[in-house]
Amino acid sequence: MAFENEKIACYGDGAPRERWEQYGMSDIRQQVGCSQYITPAECTVDHARDISLIWVAEQRDEDHAPTGLTGWLFEWHRHRLWAEIRNVSVKGGNGAPLLVVRRLISLGLMGEEINPLGLRRKLPPELKPSREEILQDLYDALLCWGKTVNRHASYELTLDLAEGV
């Protein structure tokens, strides 16, 4: 089975509250901190492989404008990972292919608190042998998410890796 997007927001959009709780979204808000938390509406999921991706945080500057740094809950085979991704560029649209470049800044196990965004996290030793598979699955999930959310006929994603990821 491939990745697909599902509604998870539980307030008035028809998604069941059980799905919201299944992904632990109530706990995530406390871990992220209210100033960076966004209310997720969708989850990109591959049920057959037990992988999911949810955009849950966005860093903002002192004027409350987005800085381009986003936080994602990436559940990979029962490992709860926190991915921090910077939006680098977006080109195209208006009938032209949408070309998006993002940079993976940090990827590691989700701890007790993930506030603030911008701290470097690394994969634990037990997941390092699976690093390439994890990165490919993260890319595939981000690509599915982007195609669905942006609703463009042609959506292309480049995912760069920051040094040390």
Distance CA 71, CA 69 (A): 7
Q: Given this model, what pLDDT does residue 60 score?
A: 86
Between the CA atoms of 112, 144, 47 and 54, what dihedral angle is there, to the nearest 10 degrees? Answer: 20
Q: Given this model, what pLDDT does residue 115 score?
A: 57
Query: Among residues 93, 57, 90, 108, which one has the least CA distance to residue 158?
Result: 90
Q: Given this model, what pLDDT does residue 95 score?
A: 75
Per-residue pLDDT of the chain (165 residues; tens, 9 = 90+): 599 988 886 555 555 667 777 777 777 777 776 667 777 878 899 999 999 999 998 888 889 898 999 999 999 999 999 999 999 999 987 778 889 999 999 999 887 666 566 677 889 899 999 999 999 999 999 999 988 877 766 889 999 999 888
Q: What's the pTM?
A: 0.88
Q: What ranges do the domains of the chain cover?
A: 4-161
What is the SS3 assignment for 96?
strand
